[in-house]
Amino acid sequence: MKQTNRKLPLRVYLSCAFLALSLVLIVIMWLFQTVFFDDFYRSIKTFQAERCALSVSKNIEDEQITELLKEIEEKNDMDVSLYGVTKYNSNPIFSPIYAPHNFISSHSIVNMSTVYDCYFKALENGGQTTIKSENIPPKYNRFGMGFDAPFDKKSSQLLTCAVITQSEDEEYLILVESDIAPVTSTVDTLKVQLIIMTVFMVIISIFFAVITAQYLSKPLHDTNKKAKQLANQNYNIAFSGGNYRELCELNDTLTYSAHELRKVDELRRELIANISHDLRTPLTMITGYSEVMRDIPGENNPENVQIIIDEANRLSSLVSDLMDISKLESGTATMQDSVFCITDCIKEIFNRYTKLIEQDGYNIVFEYDTDAYVKADPLRISQVLYNLINNAINYSGDDKTVIVKQSVSPNNVCIEVIDHGVGIEEDKIPYIWDRYYKVDKEHKMAVVGTGLGLSIVKNILGRYDAQYGVKSTLGFGSDFWFVLKTVEKE
């Protein structure tokens, strides 16, 4: 809690993020529109002039060359001149073929010395050159009559691109002139615009940050409020709402957690109720019988002592079942696996039931073909078998018959414990493996278990990835089965 108080709310982080983004954008704009603006402008103009000159050079043989030159001039706002070059005593003589129409700049009046200059420079440079004039005074019109207004403090420059081209023994000189106007005033205008934009962007950023924060944090706040209720053991709370996917997922997860917590809480209550009930019953019996034996002469007989012993045994089996289940479920139960003969293990268990068979007339049959070996903890597997056989005896029908069947297939051994007793309703079958589940809670049989037997079976078999299940028909009996992997005899 203390730590969360030290953290800033989401809207502050968002405002900072939006502001930072705006500032970065403005700095980028500032750099491009002011610092690098002039360089960009010049590079683009140079590139355009060179492209135009090369395009004329390519189409020099075109009959429509005059139209093409006019079009280039109009489209690009440039002056194009074309000269035919003839040599006299190896001195070039220029005869004008096309004179410029745009007169983009008064100083672009091409005089012969410029033409010579450009020609020789282009010649030196392998046939192409681009010359930037020195700064020339502010724009005045082509004929030197007055200035164009308004004009820039700085003087403009003239960019001349000269290309020498050949066609059928004829040599031509193409001159493309472009005016590089000074950008100082434009840059000044942009600076003012940028200052205004900066102010606007800061305001807009804060506005958007607040709106976004509201959109993001409001549902989060609601979820947090409900989560606090969950922490206060209000498990019936439903987490809903959320206008973006992550929050919807969080809400779904929390709703699921609340549901699971409710189940755990119910189970805990049920468990405590069951345990206390199951502990109280034998304890009451033991105390009751002991008091009777102490107070009433003649009641201190072997039958009553046997009842006390039976109840004490029940208590101890309940406690050991509880210990087993808690160890198995928490994963702390250690398994001491070894290869053993499960067939012999079943036979041994059967020996212990001989008395029951003799006394109570139970018919317990073991059907098997061959010996099967498995790798597991023999004590835990005996526990599984005991629990299943005890249940079969407890819930067996009037025929008092329990059949244990072992079927061996190439890699597996399937053990079935079959009785012809009460059976289990189909819809109850999935629950019988749960801790403390009893199909008939009211009806307690004489030899009822603790309600933990099948849960222990499930946990032990789960440890060995064994398949298990039950086929049961109400009134006709049950067939509990499990399959273990067989191994070679060691």
Residue ranges that bind ligand ADP, judged by CB under 6 A:
387, 391-392, 395, 419, 421-424, 432, 437-440, 448-455, 478
Instruction: Please state the closest distance from residue 263 (CB atom) to ligand ADP, in A.
Output: 19
Instruction: Please state the closest distance from residue 396 (CB atom) to ligand ADP, in A.
Output: 7
CA angle, 406 then 408 then 411, to 5°:
140
Task: Please provide residue 337's backbone torsions phi and psi, each rounded to the nearest 5 degrees.
Answer: -75, 140
Instruction: Please state the closest distance from residue 423 (CB atom) to ligand ADP, in A.
Output: 6
DSSP, residue by residue, 149-196: SS--SSPBEEEEEEEEEEETTEEEEEEEEEEE---HHHHHHHHHHHHH
Return the sign of the alpha-carbon dihedral for residues 484, 321, 438, 434.
Answer: negative
Instruction: Please state the closest distance from residue 321 (CB atom) to ligand ADP, in A.
Output: 8
* 213 within 8 A of 93, measured Cβ to Cβ: no
Instruction: Please state the closest distance from residue 486 (CB atom) to ligand ADP, in A.
Output: 25
- Minimal CB distance residue for ligand ADP: 449
Task: CB nearer to ligand ADP: give 163 or 422.
Answer: 422
* 139 within 8 A of 176, measured Cβ to Cβ: no
**Longest CA–CA separation in the chain, Å:** 158
Task: CB nearer to ligand ADP: give 357 or 439.
Answer: 439
Instruction: Please state the closest distance from residue 393 (CB atom) to ligand ADP, in A.
Output: 9
Task: CB nearer to ligand ADP: give 381 or 422.
Answer: 422
Task: CB nearer to ligand ADP: give 199 or 271.
Answer: 271
The tokens 């009046």 sit on which residue?
Answer: 109
Instruction: Please state the closest distance from residue 460 (CB atom) to ligand ADP, in A.
Output: 13
Task: CB nearer to ligand ADP: give 96 or 430.
Answer: 430
CA 260, chain centre distance (Å): 23
Task: CB nearer to ligand ADP: give 253 or 320.
Answer: 320
Task: CB nearer to ligand ADP: give 227 or 403.
Answer: 403
Q: What would the 3-class secondary structure string for 348-401 be?
A: HHHHHCHHHHHHHCCEEEEECCCCCEEEECHHHHHHHHHHHHHHHHHCCCCCCE
d(CA 328, CA 433): 14
